[in-house]
Amino acid sequence: MATQHSRAAARIMMAPAVILLLGWMLVPLTMTLYFSFKNYLPLRGGDLGWAGFENYTRFVTSSSFWPSILTTLIIVGGVLFITVVFGVLLALLLDRPMWGQGIVRILVIAPFFVMPTVSALVWKNMFMDPTNGLFAHLWRAFGAQPVEWMSQASLPSIIIIVSWQWLPFATLILLTAIQSLDGEQLEASEMDGAPALKRFWYIILPHLSRAITVVILIQTIFLLAVFAEIFVTTGGAFGTKTLSYLIFQRVLESQNIGLGSAGGVYAIILANIIAIFLMRIVGKNLDN
Amino acid sequence: MGRITLDKVTKRFGDVEVIPPLDLTIEDGEFVVFVGPSGCGKSTLLRLIAGLEDVSGGQIRIDSKDATDLPPAKRGLAMVFQSYALYPHMSVRKNIAFPLKMAKMDQAEIDRRVDNAAKVLNLDSYIDRRPGQLSGGQRQRVAIGRAIVREPSAFLFDEPLSNLDAALRVGMRLEISELHERLKTTMVYVTHDQVEAMTMADKIVVLQAGVIEQVGSPLELYHTPRNKFVAGFIGSPKMNFIEGETAAQHGAHTIGIRPEHLTASATEGLWKGTVSVSEHLGSDTFLHVHDTGLAESMTVRVGGEFPVRHGDTVYLTPEADKIHRFDEKGLRIA
Amino acid sequence: MARTVTTRQKALNTTLAWAIGLLIFFPILWTILTSFKTEGQAISDPPIFLFFDWTLENYAIVQERSDYLRFLTNSVIIAVGSTLLGIVVAVPAAWSMAFVPSKRTKDILMWMLSTKMLPAVGVLYPIYLLFIKLGLLDNRWGLVVVLMLINLPIIVWMLYTYFKEIPGEILEAARMDGATLREEILYILTPMAVPGIASTILLNVILAWNEAFWTLNLTAAKAAPLTAFIASYSSPEGLFYAKLSAASTMAIAPILIMGWFSQKQLVRGLTFGAVK
């Protein structure tokens, strides 16, 4: 396949994509790094000189920092837990023989295609609204006091909304993985006398472990960046300010670019740590 | 018309030299088979001839013209791939016509040649189908059809039969041999199967680790293998090798005896052993004999039926003039 | 696992799966139903499921009041434009990586993937600043470029995995048959890769359509797509459920239909080939 001729052609054809992505990565990254060492307040005097590591220390010592980390962890952890556990169960169910499997699949996958702003608003208003929402109707029907979801249970609300969006993703990937399980392996374990629960534990779950890892890593990357769901529901109030949202507020709302950029650098480092694990798995798969 | 000369051809992948300097001449009209265990460089060698890989050094001449730097299409060679490499989105007819279309041949001539190839290869009945609807053997024929319409100066075959089942393989083997008889065009054929090599070749090139171990006609290789490797590789079942004192008696480090050159007897003979497994094929009986004190296991081929079972004692006697002798380096002692 | 499953078992599976499927789908179904109600019926307690006065007036009001078509046009231009631009850049790159792999191919693929993981907030201000400097703020073409760049790694990866499935021998055969590089890509590779290219386009249109960070932060009135149009309902006045539902239905319907067609390819595109 590889002659010098084709190798030269390959290099030329690869150049546009590589150059574009290199620019997209390096230019903003360099600027963020640069700003993070600056006292830069566009609305209050602009560039006020170098700040050293002051932005970095101020960002982590601010009273909002640790709560934002905690919020981020709760949202990411909660959504991961719900989507993985229910994703495995749902995938197992969908893999069984039934009528109308194709239609059920379509029903289950649908939320993934709903725009984040739509799903956040529909849930917030039509389901979680304390006077007119469906949940309020339901609570009242049982004589209970309706919950004020967005203020009293703001984090669970956001976790529910985001889990609803990502459950299809987890289910679909885990279902694909289950379907790739060699039927003979299961039959062999059945011949060996393993009951259903043991078959799940010793054959199916280990087979799924890689798919589960992939689901966790990919979702983590997207969940760390959850934005629209908070933006249109609580706007960061009621303890729903994640690290991403905190940075967003520092940059665009309070226009403290230096501080926001330092936070951005933290977020980039955090994402990269997770990315390394994901890349290992993907990379291993590339080899075979 | 189709004389291919390799002159000190080498191939390196990075730091690994897969083919050290190699000289070989393939005469016009010859059926040459490259044979060797997997990873011996036989496919790489074929791809170098085809132009699908660059040589790292040396020269390839086709009909005494330097073809070393020519792109594949300009070498006048046609290739049949292991996976057949048919274009799945084109009908059989379009597949076969593709090389002619690329050569900007006019449509009437394309049709004539395609029809002709279809007739020769008996693929009229499925000429308008797509490759996906064909059986393995039919696909194989289409791939050959696509090669012959170009009227190349030589055909290159890269393990063309390895994806077929055993029965079909024997049939296609015959068809390719017949095709060669009819076209008299040079064919270079790569296989790991020594039976294919023995049955089809005018000339066999045995390769190991990129090095030519021996070049010769099938029977030359069978009767006078240049070294232990060729001796063990050519012939089925494999040659028996005996080292130690028995070999020393023959003035050699190792002696080799083919299974068909041993006679077995239940009562008397030179070497005594115990039957481990006897395979009864009707036409032949293969005995695997242990405890001879010569080698771990000796294989014997007896014509017809030979009624022994596991555990029976058997006596073996070699045909004295069919013993091959090798020195410590494994080279044949003349 | 060819084995007869008892009808009872199958019925049980079916009931359970349909119940859960409908539960998951319910918010979407409810939104669609509500969009045909009057505002009064939309909030009625107990809720009305089917027996209400079906009306289309919400759709008319939404279009009239907020110029839905303008947002829709922006969404289409941004989603389709960024995807097609991405394909044009990615096809040659994916061809190179799939058929002329070098020692660095894997590293390049990995590096491309890593750019996708750059958190958007980390580079929000620089991009914001660059957009102001270049006059691209609230400009559709600016967003086309940004969304092309954020989805380019996925496009390259998807095409790469599809191209990888095309045996290299077929392209070699074409080369032996006398095809030039251009003819090889045009007559052999592209026709064989059509299904792969189509699903790549489909998935990336969906992703770009739903992208809600850059589209919210880099647009104001002119270039805002449907994500921003819907976000404007987050602080409404008066009764608006039916109108919100109508707007939502219009925003998600096209993508929902496309999504259903592309669901088989989804896994490959979203896991970078790590799950098969």
Q: Which CATH number belongs to the domain containing residue B244 in this structure?
A: 2.40.50.140
| pLDDT tens digits for range B123-164 | 888 999 999 899 888 999 999 999 999 889 999 999 998 888
- pLDDT given for residue C1 in this prediction: 45
Between A65-94 and A54-61, two packed helices, what is the crossing angle to 10 degrees? Answer: 70
Statement to judge: residues B283 and B222 lie in one domain? no
Alpha helices (H) along chain B: 42-50, 92-102, 107-121, 136-148, 166-183, 194-200, 218-223, 228-233, 245-249
B52: chain A residues, CB-CB within 8 Å: 1, 3
Statement to judge: residues B245 and B158 lie in one domain? no
Residue B211 lies in domain: 4-231
CATH label of the domain that carries residue B120: 3.40.50.300
Residue with tokens 């005097």: A45
Between the CA atoms of A276, A277, A278 and A280, what dihedral angle is there, to the nearest 10 degrees?
90
Residues B132/B111, Cβ–Cβ less than 8 Å? no
In a domain, B216, yes or no: yes
> CA neighbours within 13 Å on the CB side: how many for B46?
29
CA dihedral sign of residues B117, B123, B127, B133: negative
Question: In degrees rounded to 5, what are phi and psi of residue C87?
Answer: -60, -45
Query: Residue C31: beta bridge partners?
Result: none
Is the pLDDT higher at A175 or at A42?
A: A175
Query: How many Å lie between the alpha carbon of A78 and the closest alpha carbon of chain C?
Result: 18
Final residue before a domain boundary, out of B231, B265, B291:
B231
C197 closest CA partner among C98, C72, C75, C76 = C98
Is residue C156 within a helix (H) or strand (E), and if so which, with residue range? helix C140-164
Statement to judge: residues B188 and B68 lie in one domain? yes
Query: How many Å lie between the alpha carbon of A8 and the closest alpha carbon of chain B?
Result: 13
Q: Which domains does chain C have, with CATH numbers?
A: 7-58 (no CATH), 69-271 (1.10.3720.10)
Q: Is C219 helix (H, G, I), strand (E, B) or coil?
A: coil
Domain count along chain B: 2
**C274 pLDDT band (50/70/90 cuts)?**
low
**ipTM confidence:** 0.83
In a domain, B316, yes or no: yes
Instruction: State both tokens at B107.
Output: 């449509």
In a domain, B139, yes or no: yes
Is the pLDDT higher at A195 or at C184?
A: C184
**A1 pLDDT band (50/70/90 cuts)?**
very low
Could you tell me which chain A residue has the CA closest to the CA of B51?
Answer: A3
- pLDDT given for residue C256 in this prediction: 85
**A286 pLDDT band (50/70/90 cuts)?**
low
First vs last C-alpha separation in chain B: 37
Query: Residue B288: beta bridge partners?
Result: B277, B299
- pLDDT given for residue A80 in this prediction: 93
Q: What is the distance between the alpha carbons of residues C30 and B309, in angstroms, rounded to a whole number?
A: 80
Residues of chain B contacting C, Cβ within 8 Å: 50, 52, 71-73, 77-79, 81-83, 85-89, 98-99, 102-103, 146, 150
| pLDDT tens digits for range C107-165 | 888 888 788 777 888 888 888 888 888 888 888 898 999 999 988 988 998 888 888 88
Statement to judge: residues B207 and B63 lie in one domain? yes
Instruction: State both tokens at A267.
Output: 């977020």
Number of C-beta neighbours around residue C107 at 10 A: 11
| pLDDT tens digits for range B233-289 | 998 899 999 988 888 888 899 999 999 999 999 888 899 999 999 999 989 999 999
Number of C-beta neighbours around residue C272 at 10 A: 27
Statement to judge: residues B218 and B314 lie in one domain? no
Statement to judge: residues B201 and B129 lie in one domain? yes
Any chain B CB within 8 A of the CB of A4? yes
In a domain, B333, yes or no: no
In a domain, B59, yes or no: yes
Statement to judge: residues B141 and B177 lie in one domain? yes
Statement to judge: residues B175 and B279 lie in one domain? no
Q: Which residues of chain B have pLDDT under 70?
A: 1
**C267 pLDDT band (50/70/90 cuts)?**
low
Question: In degrees rounded to 5, what are phi and psi of residue B64?
Answer: 55, 10
In a domain, B12, yes or no: yes
Q: Which chains touch A (3 or more CB pairs under 8 A)?
A: B, C
Is residue C128 within a helix (H) or strand (E), and if so which, with residue range? helix C124-133
Statement to judge: residues B185 and B264 lie in one domain? no
Average per-residue pLDDT for chain A: 84
- pLDDT given for residue B24 in this prediction: 93
CB-closest option in C9, C118, C152 to A271: C118
C174–B146: do the CB atoms touch at under 8 Å?
A: no
Statement to judge: residues B172 and B110 lie in one domain? yes
Statement to judge: residues B243 and B203 lie in one domain? no
Query: How many Å lie between the alpha carbon of C98 and the closest alpha carbon of chain B?
Result: 16
Residues of chain B contacting A, Cβ within 8 Å: 51-54, 71
pTM summary value: 0.80
Residue with tokens 């086309």: C144
| Cβ burial, residue C260 (10 Å; 0-12/13-18/19+) | middle
In a domain, B220, yes or no: yes
Query: How many Å lie between the alpha carbon of B3 and the closest alpha carbon of chain A?
Result: 24
Q: Which amino acid is it at B211?
A: V
Final residue before a domain boundary, out of B231, B254, B271:
B231
Final residue before a domain boundary, out of B231, B260, B288:
B231
Statement to judge: residues B272 and B148 lie in one domain? no
In a domain, B334, yes or no: no
Q: What is the distance between the alpha carbons of residues B38 and B91, in angstroms, rounded to a whole number?
A: 33
| pLDDT tens digits for range C94-111 | 988 988 888 888 888 888
What mean pLDDT comes out for the span A256-277?
A: 86
